[in-house]
Amino acid sequence: MNQQIRKSPDTARGMRVWPEPDRVFDLRYAAFLETVSHLRARLHRYCARMTGSALDGEDIMQEALFEAYRKIELLDDAQALRPWLFRIAHNRCIDFIRNRRTRHAAEAFYADDDVVQPVEPAGPGAGRAIERLVVHLPPKERACVLLKDVFDHSLEEIAEMVGSTPGGVKSALNRGRAKLAALPAQPAAAPPHDPELERLLDRYIALFNARDWDGVRALTSADARLQVSDCYSGLLSGSPYFVEYERSELPWRVRPGAFEGEMVLVVDRQYGEVWRQAYLVRIGATGGVIKSISDYYSCPWILEMANAEGIYPGLLAGIVSLPTSPSPPPPG
């Protein structure tokens, strides 16, 4: 984060500032945890819509929270914590978009739109439709439309978050709204057909459900990375990942699925006689070898977001089951 974190100009307006005693860091950390506990789902929703992926949004949110935690001693105004977290997450999203080169493609698509007349929001209830379409906007317009029309921030608040001015935000907002109004209906994306990846995932699922951990490890590279949200980020070889699944008291099974146009693994948990989808696992592979595993077991907001009515129409309530080869019966 390159922006300077500003001190509160005064306390006469009732603004709560950090105290000076020795326990200042402990107090900041406690306030940080309290704020994060209430803000995470909302922060994830913003990152997911900025990146166009609920899973990428979760990864970026984790990075943003870690960055904020490392820099918490720089924050002098307790009331600035919430917008500060949004600003860090926003900057991380912009970096992600630039790295994926989506900004250039989006801006080139609308290169001729130099002057746009003001356009009002589509009206109450349009927020979810906007969320699905903002990915087609350039990053600044995307952020301004989200923060104003979905999250209901003021122009001044948005300007501080995105590093602009209220006038610049208003202009970006008008452009973004006009482009959204002109967009055609967007069909739900289907995952690309990748026979090699499908075979690898089928093999992984069969071995995983059979608790053949040596067989599962044989499918991964020596330097495979593991990320378990809120728990672990590092080498798979140095983690107790498979041991934790072996020790699990609640029966589980893994099956293939599709989420936001990407092949994923769906972990189901058994409650009585009923199996329910619990969370997603993302597998990254190169050359028929697994290079990364991202496990989202501690992120219930991802499925809540996917299953919310109207957010992912046509995507099997967010998750699509894909056919797979026969696997051992579920534990029980």
Q: For 8-17, what is each residue's pLDDT tens digit? A: 333 333 334 4
DSSP-based three-state secondary structure for 11: coil
Q: Is the pLDDT of residue 25 over 70?
A: no
pLDDT at 216: 96
Place of tokens 């803000």: 39
pLDDT at 164: 92
In whole angstroms, give the CA distance from residue 57 to residue 78.
25
- Residues 130, 91: one domain? yes
pLDDT at 261: 81
Rounded to the nearest 10 degrees, how much is the dihedral formed by the CA atoms of 54, 276, 235, 263? Answer: -50
Q: Give residue 256's identity as a one-letter amino acid code.
A: P
Interacting residues of 10 by C-beta distance below 8 A, sequence separation 6+ = none
The residue out of 156, 182, 208 marking a domain boundary is: 182
pTM: 0.67
Hey, which of 77-91, 95-109, 120-134 has the most confident mean pLDDT? Answer: 77-91
Q: Does 12 reside within a domain?
A: no
Q: Does 63 reside within a domain?
A: yes
- Residues 165, 46: one domain? yes
Output the six-digit token pair for 147: 């923060």
What's the CATH code of the domain at 275? 3.10.450.50
What's the CATH code of the domain at 44? 1.20.140.160
Q: Does 330 reside within a domain?
A: no
Q: What is the pLDDT of residues 91-123, one digit of tens each?
A: 999 999 988 764 455 445 444 444 344 444 444
- Residue 19 dihedral angles phi and psi, to the nearest 5°: -75, 165
Q: What is the pLDDT of residues 193-239, one digit of tens each?
A: 788 999 999 999 999 999 999 999 999 999 999 999 878 889 999 89
Output the six-digit token pair for 285: 């592979």
- Residues 137, 34: one domain? yes
* HEC sequence for 98-134: HHCCHHHHHHHHCCCCCCCCCCCCCCCCCHHHHHHHH
Q: Does 101 reside within a domain?
A: yes
Q: What is the pLDDT of residues 65-74, one digit of tens each?
A: 989 888 887 7
pLDDT at 187: 57
Contact 233, 313 (CB under 8 A): no
- Residues 178, 93: one domain? yes
- Residues 178, 207: one domain? no
In whole angstroms, give the CA distance from residue 59 to residue 240.
21
Q: What is the pLDDT of residues 138-194, one digit of tens each?
A: 999 999 999 999 889 999 999 999 999 999 999 999 999 999 888 776 655 566 678
What is the β-pairing status of strands 274-286 and 252-259? unpaired
Contact 145, 130 (CB under 8 A): yes
Q: Does 188 reside within a domain?
A: no
Q: Is the pLDDT of residue 24 over 60?
A: no
- Residues 226, 249: one domain? yes
- Confidence at 308, pLDDT banded by 50, 70, 90: low
- Residues 33, 135: one domain? yes
- Residues 48, 86: one domain? yes
Rounded to the nearest 10 degrees, how much is the dihedral formed by the CA atoms of 37, 40, 43, 48? Answer: 180
Q: Does 187 reside within a domain?
A: no
- Residues 233, 314: one domain? yes
Q: What is the pLDDT of residues 235-257, one digit of tens each?
A: 999 899 999 999 988 899 999 98
Place of tokens 């002057």: 115
Q: Does 8 reside within a domain?
A: no
Q: What is the pLDDT of residues 30-65, one digit of tens each?
A: 777 787 888 888 999 999 999 988 999 999 999 999
Residue 18 — left, alpha, or beta (φ > 0 → left; ψ -120 to 50 → alpha)? beta
- Residues 92, 67: one domain? yes
Interacting residues of 306 by C-beta distance below 8 A, sequence separation 6+ = 54, 259, 312, 315, 317, 318, 319
The residue out of 151, 182, 213 marking a domain boundary is: 182
DSSP-based three-state secondary structure for 267: strand
- Within 10 angstroms of residue 108's Cβ, the number of other Cβ atoms is 9
The residue out of 117, 152, 182 marking a domain boundary is: 182
pLDDT at 268: 94
Domain count for the chain, please give it: 2
Output the six-digit token pair for 241: 């990942």
- Residues 214, 144: one domain? no
Domain range for 248 is: 195-321
Q: Does 11 reside within a domain?
A: no
pLDDT at 78: 64
- Residues 148, 214: one domain? no
Q: Is the pLDDT of residue 300 over 80?
A: yes
